[in-house]
Structure 1
């Protein structure tokens, strides 16, 4: 299946935005099994993956990245190995079952070892077990992924601010790299903690045209309290766009809050990247 590029750009008309113009970059429509920033991150990794013949990557038991890599391997002809955090639990959940159905081999690391997943001895053990491979970090966030995310900006036209959910920082870093003078990027953290700024700074280089907003994680990763669901349900009812809850709903809630508070001034054109 060919990716749908450029992905659609649609406007949201909503009085609650207080004069802020909001555009949705519908990257969720790029590909049915490799949507959003997953496609962007994998696009430039496909060539080395095919050359190596196998990809080894990391993720939690509900990782969308694991699903996307498995689907990409099936579609583009390379083997995939998912290194999963924690113990195996049977039957497999929907995410891991999907990955296995697409041909992925699953292996597991206890949480202490998983925290050391970038250590030379852990990586050497994976090479010994699975042979030569193209290694993708958790979330797929390497230099090639940042390059793919940077390409989004060329599809956006004129705008003032581009926003995205922020998990590992690669999407935000890529957006920051593509901005023109006077434009800025805001990443809305979906996890608790202040570590994302350091990750983005490393990936974005010396650019300072971006910020990470840590106020809208709603308790941390995978936390989706009733008020977040209520916001997402109302957005869908008003605008006909289904809203993913772990990432996209948190970003949109942050965008609306910034518009209401004046942090996004009336007349500002904001693009929200719908990543999945």
Structure 2
């Protein structure tokens, strides 16, 4: 699933994108990787339900709902924002998850901050029974194990491996499986002062760093410049990007190339982590703000 980009870059730099978004129609990209061994563990433990956490447009919520439907689990989504309780039909992500059979519990944003607390989890167990709990974003030791499988032997030829970063699970897997001499670059999609420490919880020390200048204002935030970049990139390459994660990483890599960050003859592998389901929800928000929207490949 590696696709060299049909774009010209200076100094003989080549850029290839790994289409993890094509792994599964609904359990997309890094969510497929993160859920793989968690699903196996839930089966081993004979759990019948998966319980997880996320926001209204969460790729992880959508993927967990789809995985539950495919593998025969009930799914429960603890959703940040109790104001959303009567707005499921207006939200493409929640609507999809509901069709897949997910049950929702909407909690206040204040309560959501305590989602990993013992009292909060005990209350959930009392309400929903003995579920297999998957953390927000899906990142845990088993998720990192799955993400270690993103890179294959054929990827050892690249000098750099780049990915977007949310909770840190995907980049941790890449760091652990990178070939000797490869540098792994992570592009955070949000402001998180503890992200480096979170990654070191799962990743060995190695040749990696975070590039923190391309979050475009924070998690879930976009600009007209980013939307225009996404539309232009899709037109030139026939590859759609998601606005929350991968588009910011690809924008950052191309900007760094143009500003001489990479040495001549570098070969760069970009990891497309999926998340395209979020485009519909993002476009709905952009329309409300009278801003340009993200074009799909089927648009005229």
TM-score by length of 1: 0.94
1:12-27 aligned at under 5 Å gives the runs 12-16=5-9, 18-27=11-20
Tell me, yes or no, if structure 1 residue 195 matches structure 2 residue 194: yes
2:238 maps to 240
CA offset digits 1:7-35 (Å, max 9, x no partner): x1010132245421111000000000111
Task: Decide whether aligned partners of structure 1 residues 103 and 88 sit closer, same or farther in structure 2, where only a CA change above 3 A counts.
Answer: farther
1:179 maps to 178
1:95 maps to 93
CA offset digits 1:53-88 (Å, max 9, x no partner): 111100011111000000000000111110011114
**What SS does the corresponding residue of 2:219 show, helix, strand or coil?**
coil
1:56 maps to 51
1:3 maps to none
**What SS does the corresponding residue of 2:144 show, helix, strand or coil?**
helix
Give the whole-Å Cα distance in 2 for the aligned partners of 1:198 and 1:123.
24
Tell me, yes or no, if structure 1 residue 169 matches structure 2 residue 168: yes
Cα drift, residue 41 of structure 1:
0.5
Give the whole-Å Cα distance in 1 for the aligned partners of 2:251 and 2:193.
19
CA offset digits 1:127-175 (Å, max 9, x no partner): 1111111111000001000001011112524111111110110000000
Give the whole-Å Cα distance in 2 for the aligned partners of 1:116 and 1:17.
48
Give the whole-Å Cα distance in 2 for the aligned partners of 1:237 and 1:171.
27
Give the whole-Å Cα distance in 2 for the aligned partners of 1:17 and 1:240.
22
Tell me, yes or no, if structure 1 residue 124 matches structure 2 residue 119: no
Task: Decide whether aligned partners of structure 1 residues 31 and 130 sit closer, same or farther in structure 2, where only a CA change above 3 A counts.
Answer: same
Tell me, yes or no, if structure 1 residue 228 matches structure 2 residue 226: yes
Give the whole-Å Cα distance in 2 for the aligned partners of 1:125 and 1:262.
53
Of 93, 111, 114, which aligns to 2:112? 114
Cα drift, residue 91 of structure 1:
2.8
1:204 maps to 203
1:46 maps to 39
**What SS does the corresponding residue of 2:146 show, helix, strand or coil?**
helix
* Superposed CA RMSD: 1.3
Gaps of 5+ in 2: 275-300
Contact 1:18 1:259 in 2 (8 A): no
Contact 2:162 2:185 in 1 (8 A): yes
Cα drift, residue 195 of structure 1:
2.4
**What SS does the corresponding residue of 1:151 show, helix, strand or coil?**
coil
TM-score by length of 2: 0.86
Aligned pair count reads 268
Gaps of 5+ in 1: 1-7
| Deviation beyond 4 Å, 4+ runs, structure 1 | none
